[in-house]
Amino acid sequence: MRFTRRSARMFASMPALRLKAMSTNAMRHCLSLDLRDDPEVVAQYDRYHEAVWPEVLDALRASGIIDMTIWRRDTRLVMLIETEPDFSFDKLVAGADVHPRVTEWNALMASFQCPLPGATSAEWQPMKLAFNMQAQKKGDES
């Protein structure tokens, strides 16, 4: 997990999916990223995420994230974030009030990452919603 001011601006224009089945007005965001193509890098990334530092988890919760999952296939990562309705990626950008361990974690994670094909930076990239079953089921009911 690593976010910068540039990624926060990029996400600001990205629509989120409202979830009805979760807490009221929760939002879902989907992002993708690649790891460096090195088996040891992938293994280290997995090990770090088996026990994410408590300061990082606290910062994620404080930013309005309800839940986060990261899925990996080889070097491709997909992150699903469920957030409070007032969540903003700007809240995740390291600033003066961010715990030093969070800044350290972000730098460490950056060392494992590389840009997705076509991306200009090795940051999490928003994914475009291609299908939503609940939305289509609603259309069938009319």
Measured CA to CA, the distance from residue 91 to residue 59 in angstroms comes to: 9
At residue 94, the pLDDT reads 58
**For the chain, percent of residues with pLDDT exceeding 70:** 77
Pair 124, 31: CB distance under 8 Å: yes
User: What pLDDT digit, counting tens, does each position of 94-124 carry?
Assistant: 566 788 999 999 999 999 999 999 999 899 9
**Alpha-carbon span 36 to 38, nearest angstrom:** 6
Res. 22: pLDDT tops 50: no
Residue 11 has pLDDT above 50, yes or no: no
DSSP string, 29-57: EEEEEEE-S-HHHHHHHHHHHHS--HHHH
**Tokens linked to 10:** 């990029």
76-100 confidence digits (pLDDT tens) = 999 999 999 888 887 776 566 788 9
DSSP 22: S
Number of H helices, E strands in the chain: 5, 6
Mean of pLDDT values over 115-136: 90
Q: How far is CA 141 from the centre of its chain?
A: 33
The alpha-carbon radius of gyration of the chain (Å, integer) is 16
Amino acid at 41: V
